[in-house]
Chain A
Amino acid sequence: MALPQNLVAEFNELLTHYPHKQAALIPALHRCQEELGGWISPQTMEDCAAFFGLEPVEVYGVASFYPMFRMRPPGKHVVSVCHNISCALRGSDELLAKVCEVTGAPVHGTSADGRFSVNTVECQGACANAPMFDLDGVYHEDLTPEKAARILGEVK
């Protein structure tokens, strides 16, 4: 398999930003994760390796270093709850418990119906609006367990 044409075109544009090809690897992996199933599959790593002139293991070595790159397919929606200090001081334990209850997903796992994956993440830079979670790439801040349940209840 090879990378879809639209991604190849995007990556070729990305390469013009840098004097060395490999610099575009992490932005490219982001686009792959967005477009190709929400994770970095072994196939994606092979395809990126071919594009960048790297060994697949080199791409794996980079991708696996970065917490945002998922090495397993996630559920349809991903909730990432911050559990660092400023959020913990304002109730992230209770928030996380509520998120797990509402979604039916365990921490670092996916609900049985495949709809939700729940993670804990380190500080997201929203500390003055703690606690918070990121739902499918969008921050929700100043949360309470009730607010969280409402937001998650509205997810299609």
Chain B
Amino acid sequence: MSQHPTYLLDRAKIEGAHTLAVAQKHGAYEALRKILKEGITYAQVIQVVKDSGLRGRGGAGFPTGMKWSFMPDPAKDPRPRYLAVNADESEPGTCKDRVLMEQDPHGFIEGCLVAAYAIRAQAVYIYVRGEYRHPYNRVFQALAEARKAGLVGKRILGSDFDCEVWMHKGAGAYICGEETGLMESLEGKRGHPRPKPPFPAMFGLWGQPTTVNNVETVFNAPFIVNRGAAWFQSMGTKTSTGNLLVGVSGHVNRPGVYELPFGVSCREIVEDVCGGVWKGKRLKGFFPGGSSTGVLPASFLDTKLEHDAIKATGSMLGTAAMIVMDEDTCMVRAHEIIARFYEHESCGQCSQCREGTQWLHQIFRRIENGEGRHEDIDMLVTLSQGMAPGKTICALSDAAAIPTLAVVKHFRSEFQEHVEKGACPHLPAGTRRPVLAGHGAAH
């Protein structure tokens, strides 16, 4: 692939960048200084982020500047307000926020502070999935250094901007990545998503105005403040601007987390960036952005990785976590695993989701084990149509249903083959999947 400008991982690649001294030598906290020294107003920060076209990197791609502008005017609404940063990173296939936290924690903290300044939050809560001990420790240590240097806390850099940054550990539930589930969990409760409205900007953490942003989203903000909206728009496409972190996993020669401009084709990612499908095999299909985004067959490989083009295929960009599957992969088995995941993670508040995810998992398993009936294939479709779109409190139900519709649409013949053969065609004759692999709960 041809060269493209980078910025997200530049500092991360420098030895010792997790320490304040090295990070500052390479530009960390310059945007914060610029804002506070030049007296750039919060409205100006929101405006430049709006103009840049930055969209959320947590999965939904919501315009960030617009989200920030939903926060009420502090002159009219003097309640305390918060920024909750979503470092729950639990969407299967997704492993990008971790890279930023581990390798450039000061860049991340600066991003939190710039976002907090824009929405005038007096405190930031970074919600880190409990399993991420190493990323947590890296940011924790960086915070201690930053606090000592007057970059976090009261009167930051001698200005009248006060902002505390606290870290908070989750305890292993995917649903706490959903923004209202995250807030419930942060309040010390079960991570049960809240019905919306009211929206977090009016009624968030402890009922106060709150913005929830992904790690990579806030990480972009200081660069935009420093280099301007036009610079940001010079990368990517018209409606998906900037670079993004693309995590590639599965059957490629070089899986990894790569910084790429929006608009590169999935083919370039698989063939050039990742060195092609492993073992010289052919591609069968791929998830463009995590397990919640419908699978696409190999014929879609020339699709550009950006919001509109992926949406036009019927799938979604999601977290841009590409999961690549070679020609030998069993699509039924792959989706059995994913269905098991959603069953395990459903919080159970909505019957469509609680029951639906159980049924989907059972049916996928039945078909995979050679016990499926032809009617089961349409049953997957009917069930999914009852679960989505927008029929439940949160989008987990959609996340289980939409990939099911996609796999039946694109790979129906594989399901039929399982039913007709009475066995998984990808297993040696007479064998079954080992039962030990994964039908239990993870407790």
Contact = CB atoms under 8 A, between A and B. Distances in A.
Given A23-B188, A84-B92, A128 B255 contact: yes
A102 interface: no
Contact of A85 (B337, B441, B442): B337
Interface string B328-357: 010001100110010011000000000000
B190 A65 contact: yes
Given A85-B338, A93-B434, A65 B95 contact: no
B191 interface: yes
A96 B437 contact: yes
Given A67-B173, A123-B91, A19 B249 contact: no
A66 B438 contact: no
Sort chain A's interface into a size bin: 35 or more
A62 B442 contact: no
Interface in A59-88: 61-62, 65-71, 80, 83-86, 88
Which of A22, A92, A107 has the largest count of B CB atoms less than 10 A from its CB? A107
A89 interface: yes
Given A20-B206, A86-B249, A62 B94 contact: no
B147 interface: no
Given A17-B166, A26-B170, A119-B442, A125 B188 contact: no
Contacts, number: 172
Interface string B310-337: 0000000000010101000100011001
Nearest to B90: A123
26 contacts: A17-B164, A20-B206, A23-B186, A23-B188, A26-B170, A26-B188, A62-B189, A62-B190, A65-B190, A68-B172, A71-B443, A85-B341, A86-B249, A88-B333, A88-B437, A89-B250, A96-B436, A97-B434, A100-B436, A108-B440, A108-B441, A119-B442, A121-B172, A122-B345, A125-B90, A128-B95
Interface of B: 80, 89-95, 97-98, 129-134, 164, 166, 168-174, 185-191, 206, 247-251, 255-257, 287, 291, 321, 323, 325, 329, 333-334, 337-338, 341, 344-345, 433-434, 436-438, 440-443
